Amino acid sequence: MRRGTKTMKKLTLFAIFAALMISSAAFAQTTASGTLSVTATVNGTISLVFNSDAAGVTLGGAGTNAATLAFGTVQAFGGVLTAGVTRTTAANSFTVSSPVDVFVNKANITSANYTLKAQLNAADAVNTWTVGGVPVTNAAAATITATGAYAANVPETVALTVPFATASGTAISNAINFTATAN
């Protein structure tokens, strides 16, 4: 009788265990998994923006790569010049100039410095243009610097020389295209 009770207890315990296992097998849910492969190619680039120089004319569109430099009304002698404009007068012409900060940045590229070139957008047979003291025409891009420093405002003086022969009231307008190339 005692042995029978023990056996029954064992069977009951085993049955409970089995029932639990069945329950577990029936309701256990396996985890799911998924894999999302991600690929991309990072290209190295450099960027160029113009900033207003503290000693120069305040640029329109400063901080972008399409800024405007307005010298305002200029004349050989006297008058009031736009803030930041410097004037020098020679025998037969006068020159107005302003420093412009050129900021070239690099990303994802191995390059110690850059070459900066400038070219006048349209031919100007009357006036003379220089950037950083280097004459600039529309014939070919002129090298302004071959060792430009990245991530720094590099002041480049933009100068326009106007002959005395130019008629009063003449509007002068042109564009200078800058190109920075990573070395």
Partner 1 sequence: LRFVLPLLLFGSSLMTDGWAQRKGASQRTSAAVSMKSETEGSISVSFVSAPDGAALTGGATGQRSLDLGAVSLAGGAQAANVHVQNFPGRFVVSTRFGLSIQNPAQHSSTVTVLAALALPDPAFIFRLDGITLQPVPQLLQNQARIGPTFLHRLEIDVPASVTEKNSQLHNAILFQIIPN
- Which residues of the shown chain bind partner 1 in the complex (CB under 8 A)? 8, 11-12, 14-15, 18-19, 21-22, 25-27, 29-47, 106-110
Q: How far apart are CA 85 and CA 75, in angstroms?
A: 12
Cβ–Cβ < 8 Å for 132, 149: no
CB of 62 to partner 1, least distance (A): 17
The answer to whether the CB of 88 falls within 8 A of the CB of 94 is yes
Q: Give 42 or 171: the residue with its C-beta nearer to partner 1.
A: 42
**Shorter beta-carbon distance to partner 1: residue 21 or 70:** 21
Structure tokens at 171: 């509007």
Which residue, 83 or 149, is less far from partner 1 as judged by CB? 149
CB of 151 to partner 1, least distance (A): 9
Phi, psi of 21 (to 5 degrees): -65, -40
- To partner 1, the closest distance from the beta carbon of 111 in angstroms equals 9
Rounded Cα distance between 78 and 98, Å, is 18
